[in-house]
Every structure is written in structure tokens, then in C-alpha cells.
A and B are shown apart, each in its own frame.
Chain A
């Protein structure tokens, strides 16, 4: 098709965060001609915002750690819905992937002995997060970026992919998108395509996610005939900023609690002591004295003889507890709770270990965290749900289509542990790149596709410009975000979810008639108008899955079904598909059977 600018590669990677970069590096190293297509400039993807660290059982800070313990913690944190094989590979391969980053130039914080330092985080039995202060994501993305530019990867910045093209046999043939700068259409032909597009957080009002997180890859896979898994599980990080309004939702790293920070309500109570769930009983400190002893030991690089503070419970648990305090009228002035590190660590230690948190509060909220507590509340942060993939190869159900990182589902089950996302990116990014290259090598040429399909899609993308009347896309987007926040948030009910589905229907009608001014050159209103389609489809996938799962587990809490039902729902994953008719359908499927040796690990 000569009409549109066309590039031809063996492997086309969509998304240039940690997973996309790692996949492109691997594919290129395997000899595949590789394209890396991203919506922003290189190095600005969401990985750059990750703060606390990358989880890997390096056993550098505590030699008792092992992949087996990491596997157990991950499964337990995911409330046993994780695809066990992904959790297994992740725990086994993360240490090697982290050491590799170090060899490529990443400079992680050091222990007293000069090794890689590792920090404590929620749900991890041992200090496991290799980190660089509170800017670990920046270190990772820059390292991968600098490594990647020497691999002969063709980088295409500021291009958005809207559609996966396939051949008559259903194999991927390429990706159709547009240059953000000029608005012109572009086709990336490829024998293999890797989705590494990140998450879906822009469907909610209070979120730590940037404009890029518009569910692109989730929708591309669904539209191409792929399946989503675990869509009901959306992680609300317990500690987002709540004040001032302009920064509501901005992330505060779990590292604050890993470094000794405590949560208090307006009555100055450390309420997490009263919020230890049954499955974690006996594993966390039960008195302030014990918790303090643990912090003091950890801070001085000693092995603690106490149990960890309950502030380091998993994110789902802490987010729900904060919500409960606020609802009970024990919140902070701006509707959060207090996170206090000032009374636990010296100003110097806070500035050294949490420099960007110090800076962020000082600049944006006029709060000096070395002297005052922060006000915090839950913020939409991550989706455990994503494209269903083969654990070993990361290939989706669509031949030639792979997915890695946040866009892929299954690794984290019902709740992700902090630090497991950065390791997920590099473990499965590498695997996706490797297998995508291998798949491409087995095919003689990129498949052909139907030119009419391209024309139809192009026409559809330009439609908003032709309308005389119509709403501003920003208004429709805001209404979607507020609706999802209210009805498909941390705590859900059947009534709210049913009503949310009706709202999504109405929002679809409005989205289909939005009007755009200006021309196609760098036009954010147009970009948003197109993104509404992905966000609406994936909002519906989340809502339908949340409606079907009649229990509370991990990040999914149903007020009308407060119990965890291990007999029924604990044995099933929910799978989302898009039917021929365009309808979004959800069905339950039994969990894969775990081998006995892994079952033994979990029992311990």
C-alpha cells in the first residue's frame, strides 16, 4: 500500500517503557530487524515514574532470600490467582535481569559491604527491592534506553498505534497508527508484534498514571481477537497525594513505609495494627514497640528480631484500611490519613533515601516531610488484568502477537506486590523479545493485509473532524473518569456496577459524536477523541468482570459479597473476549493446575 508511509521490520515493539525497551534490546540482539514505536519521547514512558525499587531475590541485603520465597510471596500477595508459571519464571529470572542492568550501567544504591542494597516493601518477606533512592524507574529506563540506542533498533517516537493488521489466516501483519506530530498515518509491517503499552489508569479520576495510560494495548489485543484475563483487579495504591487538588493522585512511594514511615488517623492511632487480615496473622508486628524495633534494626543494617510493621501489608489491604478510616470520620483535613516519616527518621536520612518525595511535597504542597506528616489516600495505580499470554513465550492467542509488562495479565493475580512490576518488565520484556524474534525468524516475510481495512480504519480515525456538532472530548473523558471512580473503584456493589454499564453505554454514544477543532497536526483533542474508544471498551471489561466475580479478593472488593470464596471463585480466572458482534463478554475458567513442588512451596 503506497498511499501511506510504511516501514518493514521483523519485530515491531509498541511501547518504550521498561518492557518495550527490554523486548527490543533482546529481539535486536537475536538478529531481528526491530522497530520500537512509542507515544512519547524516548525515556518518558511510565516506567520513569516508578520509585521504590525492583524486586529480585538477589539475597544481597539478606542472604536468606531465594526465588522460592519470592514465588511464595508473589502468589500469596496475588491471593493465589496468579498464573503460577509466570510467577515462577519471574522469581527465578529477576536476579539475573537486575544484575544485567548493573552491567549495562545502572548504579543501584549499595550495602555497607558494597553490594546491591535492597529495601523492604509490602508483602516481601525479606528486603528485596534493589533501588536508587526513590527514582529507581528513571535509572532503569535510562539504562535500557542507553543500551538500546546502540543495538541498531529503529526508534519511532511520538507515534500512536490504533489498529493491528492481520492476514487472511489471522496472523499479525502490521500495525496502523499516526504520527502525533503531523497526524499522518503510518504502517509498521512486522512478522511479530510485541505489545508493551502499559496500563489503563486514565479511566479513573484519581490516578497516578500519565496521559499515556489509555488502555491502548489492552484494546488492540481485544480488537485483534486476543483475550484479557483478571480484568476486575485494578490496584489502588494506598498512598497518593490528596492535597492540593492539582496533585491529587500523584504517587508517594511505598518506600516511605519501607524506610519506617507510619500511617495514623486523626486520633493519632496507628490503625494498621487493627487491620491485619487472617491470612497474614502472626507475620506482622502486633505492638508499636515491636514495629519500632524492626525499623531500628533495618535502618542500622541489622537483621531484625522483630516482625515487620503492619504498614507493610500488601497494597490492597492498606488501601482498604485507609478508606475505612476516612469513611469512619477519622481522616485528615483533606480526606486522607497521615503518613509520618518525620518522627521516625532524621531529616538527613529522609532526604538521602527519599529525595524526590521531599522535593515533591516541598514544591507542590508546601509540606516539609522531614518535619510534618503527609496527607495520603488511595490512587489508581496499576492493572493486574491484561492480555492473556503464554507464560514462557508471552505470545497471545493471536499468532505473532506478543505482550509484556503491565499490558500482559496473569503474573500478579488479584494484587501486585510493590517492586514486582519493574522486575516483571525486564523478565517478560526479555522473554517477549526473544520469542518474538524467534517467531519472526521462522517466517519468510511479513504477511499481507487488506488495503480496504486500512482505508476503513483511516476513515474512522478522521471522522471527528467532519462533524458540525458534537461535544468536546475532554468533557466525555472527565465524565468517564468520574463515573469509574465512583462506581468501579476500590469497593464495588452490584447496583453500582450495573449502573456503570448503563453509563458506559451512554458515554459510547457521546464519544461517537465528539467534535474536533483545528487540523491533524499535533492535536491532543483529536488524540483523546480516539483514545476514548479504548478506554470505554476496557472500562467495560473491568466492570463486567467485577460484576461476575461475586466475592472479595485482593484488589477486588464487593460490599455485597465481602467474603473470600476459595471454594468457587478462588479456583477461577475471568477471561474477557470481544464477540463478532462487538460485544464484550466475560467468562470464568478454572486455574491451571500447579505442579506439586510449587504447591509445596506455597504451603510452607
Chain B
């Protein structure tokens, strides 16, 4: 375990852009409680001021400093150096799923484009805006999302198959779930979720849930219930007959 007894840590950081680059080694001193982001900052301050890296809050609240540390997608600000063995070289790479702009900074603009496709809450007409904490809890879980895009990064539909044209990814299924399950929402997005946002591509491997730094149960609480609602509407024979008879949607 790396401890702060005048120890040093060696990082291997990707330096380059989308055309390529190389892993470059830097050694900095370790202070107690240091996280990977601190070590990256120390590299900037002491060795490479021009090295690019995004960060903001340094407390796991903003989701800016996502990277792949020893191959694991993480927030660098919440990854303590004492999680690693003394003498171990820690590799830090940018997220693989998005094009690299420079060093640890990726072009994540595709995610912002997906978000702007999703409409707002459609509150029930004339609502008194009263609902219980229990009802709030269900959507508050989804609204904890800090948009670090680690779930998007590990989703194999996006990472390995690059189906960005067909599938919005777990982050935005969570956002859709937060609207669909809002206690006062009157909207209906199920057809869009099926046809435009491509929920069918998700085959529930739960990789997204595993990496979520906010511990949102993405697959079980957001994606599966949405899939169930779609199944009920489109593939349940009883419901199908009922709709035919009543003319309801």
C-alpha cells in the first residue's frame, strides 16, 4: 500500500491526441490521503504545466475528472493512492469511448447532444405539487447523476460497437427514467425510448452500474423497469388485444 512516509509515486500518463501519443512517466512525492488527481496536479505543477486534464470540484460532485486508472474507469478525485501497492506504477489514460482532444481530455460533446434530444418534465395539468418523500426517492436516485460519463464509457454498445447513432447509453436512459417515473409527470416517452433511444441494444450486462460513482442502480432501477414498460405495451398479447378493443394507446 502506498503511504505517505517520504514515498514517491510513479505515474504513467497518456500524452498525445487522437492521432496518437505515448505513455510518459512522471514521479512525484506522496502526501497522506492523496488521490490520483492530486498526483496529476503535482505533475502539472512540477513537470508538465501544459498537460491537459479536466477537473472542478475535487470531491466527487461534478464528474469532470473521469479517466481510466490502471484500466479501471474512475473519478481521479476519489481514487486514493493508498489503494495501490508501494512501487506500483499507476497508469492514467483518457476515456476510451470518446475521441481524445489532448492528454487526459476527451471530446464528450456527443453526450451533450443526446441530452438536448430529451424533452423536459410534462407536469400534470393543475397539479398541487404535493407528493411524498417515498415517491421522490425513486427519481432522486436517478437525479444523483453527476454526468461523469463513466457509464457511457464502459457500455459495450458504445465502447466496443460504437453504436452512438442508435443508442443513447445508460446515462440518458437514467435521465429518461427520471422523467417517466416522476410522480407528477404526464408525458409518454416509451415509444421514443424504444425506437429513437434504442433501449433494446442494452443487454443488461450491468457494467454501467458497476462503475457508477454515485451508486445509482442504473440497470435494475432505471433500464429494466423501462424495458418492462415497453414490453407491456408492445409485446403483451393481452394488452395488445385490449388496446385494439378500446383504441387506447
Interface residues in chain A, defined as those with a beta carbon under 8 Å from any beta carbon in chain B? 40-46, 48-49, 99, 102-105, 107-110, 113-117, 132-133, 135, 137-139, 142, 145-147, 149-150, 155, 157, 181, 210-212, 243-247, 250-251, 356, 359-360, 363-365, 472-475, 478, 516-519, 521-526, 528
Please name all residues of chain B whose beta carbon is closer than 8 Å to the beta carbon of A472 when the two chains form the complex: 45, 49
Q: In the docked arrangement, what's the CA distance between A132 and B61, Å?
A: 14
Q: Which residues of B contact A117 (CB under 8 A)?
A: 133
Quick check: is B147 within 8 A (CB to CB) of the other chain? yes
Contact call A364/B33, Cβ cutoff below 8 A: yes
Q: Which of A104, A478, A517 contacts B50 (CB 8 A)?
A: A517
- Chain A: minimal CB distance from B41 (Å): 9
Q: Are B50 and A363 in contact (CB under 8 A)?
A: no
Q: How far is the CA of A359 from the CA of B215 in the complex (A)?
A: 11
Q: Contact at B32–A522, with CB atoms within 8 Å?
A: no
B53 touches A524 (CB 8 A): yes
Contact A49/B57 with A102-B129, A115-B130 known, Cβ cut-off 8 Å: yes
A523-B147 in contact (CB<8A): no
Give complex CA distance A210, B131 in Å: 36
User: In the assembly, what is the distance between CA of A365 and CA of B34, in Å?
Assistant: 10
Interface contact A113-B130, CB-CB below 8 Å: yes
Question: Smallest Cβ distance from B179 to chain A, in angstroms?
Answer: 7
Which of A110, A132, A523 contacts B132, CB < 8 Å?
Answer: A110
Q: How does the 8 Å CB contact mask read for B139-163 relative to A, with 1 for contact and 0 for none?
A: 1100111110000000000000000
A272–B142 Cα gap in the complex (Å)? 39
Point out the residues of chain A lying under 8 angstroms from B48, CB to CB.
517
Bound-state CA distance A521–B102 (Å) is 8
In the bound complex, what is the Cα–Cα distance between A477 and B49 (angstroms)? Answer: 13
For window 44-72 of chain B, which residues contact chain A by CB distance below 8 Å?
44-45, 48-64
User: Which of the listed residues B60, B61, B63, B116 has the most CB atoms from chain A within 10 Å of its own CB?
Assistant: B61
B130, A211: Cβ atoms under 8 Å?
no
Please pick, from A133, A147, A246, A359, the residue contacting B120 in the complex, using a CB distance under 8 A: A147
Nearest CB to that of A108 among chain B residues?
Answer: B136
Bound-complex Cα distance A474 to B118 (A): 41
* Complex interface: chain A residues within 8 A of B182 (CB): 105, 107
Contact B62 A245 (CB under 8 A): no
Complex interface: chain A residues within 8 A of B126 (CB): none
Are B121 and A246 within 8 A (Cβ)? no
Could you say which residues of chain B place their CB within 8 Å of the CB of A365? Answer: 33
B139 neighbours in A (Cβ, 8 Å): 107
CB distance from B117 to the nearest CB of A (A): 9
Name the one of A44, A245, A250, A518 contacting B59, with C-beta atoms under 8 angstroms. Answer: A250
How far is it, in angstroms, between the C-alpha of A356 and the C-alpha of B103 when the chains are bound? 30
Decide: A139 near B133, CB < 8 A? Known: A42-B112, A250-B58, A522-B52: no
| A137 CA to B62 CA, complexed, in Å | 10
Q: How far apart sit A107 and B175, CA to CA, in the bound complex (Å)? A: 13
Given the interface pairs A110-B131, A246-B33, the reply to whether A41 lies near B59 with Cβ below 8 Å is no
| In the complex, B225 has a CB within 8 A of chain A | no
B16 CB to closest chain A CB (Å) equals: 11
Q: Are A138 and B64 in contact (CB under 8 A)?
A: no
- Residue of A whose beta carbon sits closest to that of B32: A244
Name the distance in Å between B39's Cβ and chain A's nearest Cβ.
9
- Bound-state Cα–Cα, A105 to B123, Å: 8
B44 engages A49 (CB within 8 Å): no
Residue of A nearest to B130 (CB): A114
Given A210-B56, A364-B78, answer yes or no on A44-B63 (Cβ-Cβ < 8 Å): yes
Q: Write the B9-53 contact mask toward A (1 if CB under 8 angstroms, else 0).
A: 000000000000000000000011111001000001100111111
* Minimal beta-carbon separation of A546 from chain B (angstroms): 28
Q: Are A360 and B59 in contact (CB under 8 A)?
A: yes
Q: Is the CB of A150 within 8 A of B62?
A: no
Cβ–Cβ < 8 Å partners of A518 in chain B? 49-50
Which 4 A-B pairs rank lowest in CB-CB distance, beginning with the nearest? A244-B33, A525-B49, A518-B50, A114-B130
Are A49 and B62 touching (Cβ within 8 A)? yes
Q: What is the bound-complex CA distance between A115 and B50, given in angstroms? A: 50
- The reply to whether B132 and A114 form a contact with Cβ atoms under 8 Å apart is yes
- Report how many residues on chain B are interfacial, defined by Cβ distance under 8 Å: 59
Q: Which of B35, B49, B109, B129 contacts A474 (CB 8 A)?
A: B49
Kindly list 6 other residue pairs between chains A and B, CB separation below 8 angstroms, not including A114-B132, A364-B59.
Answer: A105-B120, A150-B116, A243-B33, A473-B49, A474-B45, A525-B50
Chain A residues near B116: list those with CB within 8 A: 149-150
Q: Interface residues of B: mostly helix, strand, loop or mixed?
A: loop
- B61 touching A114, Cβ below 8 Å: no
On whether the beta carbons of A146 and B78 are closer than 8 Å, the reply is no
Q: Does B105 contact A (CB under 8 A)?
A: yes
**Residue among B44, B50, B140, B145 with the highest chain A CB neighbour number at 10 A:** B50
- Bound: A116/B130 CA distance, A: 8
Chain B minimum-CB-distance residue to A356? B61
In angstroms, Cα B132 to Cα A524, docked, is 46
**Structural contact, B146 and A138, CB atoms closer than 8 A:** yes
For the complex, give the distance between the alpha carbons of A244 and B31 in Å.
8
Set of chain A residues within 8 Å of B56, measured between Cβ atoms = 40, 44-46, 48-49, 210-212
Query: Is B33 touching A138 in the complex (CB atoms < 8 A)?
Result: no
Residues of chain B contacted by A212 (CB below 8 angstroms): 56
- Kindly report which residue of chain B lies nearest to residue A249, judged by CB atoms: B58
Q: Which of B35, B121, B131, B145 has the most C-beta atoms of chain A within 10 angstroms of its own C-beta?
A: B121
* Residues in chain B near residue A524, CB distance under 8 A: 44, 49-53
Cβ-defined contact, B119 with A150, below 8 A: yes
Chain B residues with CB under 8 A of A525:
44, 49-50
The answer to whether A146 touches B52 (Cβ under 8 A) is no
B144 interface neighbour in A135, A147, A364, A526, Cβ under 8 Å: A135
Instruction: Give the distance in Å from the alpha carbon of A394 to the alpha carbon of B53 in the complex.
Output: 35
Determine the chain B residues whose CB is within 8 A of the CB of A523 once the complex forms: 49-50, 52
**B44 engages A474 (CB within 8 Å):** yes
Contacts A49-B62, A360-B59, A472-B45 known; A114 to B131 CB distance under 8 Å? yes
A516 with B136: CB separation less than 8 A = no
18 residue pairs bridging A and B, Cβ less than 8 Å apart = A48-B146, A104-B121, A107-B140, A109-B136, A110-B133, A115-B129, A116-B129, A145-B115, A146-B175, A149-B116, A157-B112, A210-B57, A246-B32, A246-B33, A360-B60, A364-B33, A516-B50, A524-B52
Alpha-carbon distance between A251 and B61 when the two chains are bound, in angstroms: 11
Q: Given A115-B130, A244-B31, A181 and B120 touching (CB < 8 A)?
A: no
Once bound together, how far apart are the Cα atoms of A364 and B31, in whole Å?
Answer: 13
| Chain A residue nearest in CB terms to B117 | A149
Query: Among the listed A149, A157, A359, which residue makes an inter-chain contact with B60, where contact means beta carbons less than 8 Å apart?
Result: A359
Residues from chain B with Cβ under 8 Å of A150 in the complex: 116, 119-120
Residues of B within 8 A of A359 (CB): 60
Residues of A within 8 A of B52 (CB): 521-524
- B54 x A41 contact (CB < 8 A): yes
B233 contacts the other chain (Cβ, under 8 Å)?
no
Nearest CB of chain A from residue B30's CB, rounded to whole Å: 10
**Are A48 and B57 interface neighbours, CB within 8 A?**
yes
Residues of B within 8 A of A528 (CB): 49
Q: Tell me whether B101 and A522 are in contact (CB under 8 A).
A: yes
With A244-B32, A246-B35, A359-B60 given, is the CB distance from A103 to B123 under 8 Å?
A: yes
Asked if B60 and A246 sit within 8 Å, CB to CB, the answer is: no
Q: Considering the chains assembled together, what is the distance between the CA atoms of A109 and B44 in angstroms? A: 41
Complex CA distance for A522 and B18, rounded to whole angstroms:
14
Shortest Cβ distance from B231 into chain A, in angstroms? 26
A154 to B31, CA, bound (A): 43
CB-nearest residue of chain A relative to B37? Answer: A246
Q: Is the CB–CB distance between B115 and A146 below 8 Å?
A: yes
CB nearest neighbor in B for A137:
B61
Among B32, B64, B133, B178, the residue within 8 A (CB) of A245 is: B32
Residues of A within 8 A of B59 (CB): 49, 247, 250-251, 360, 364
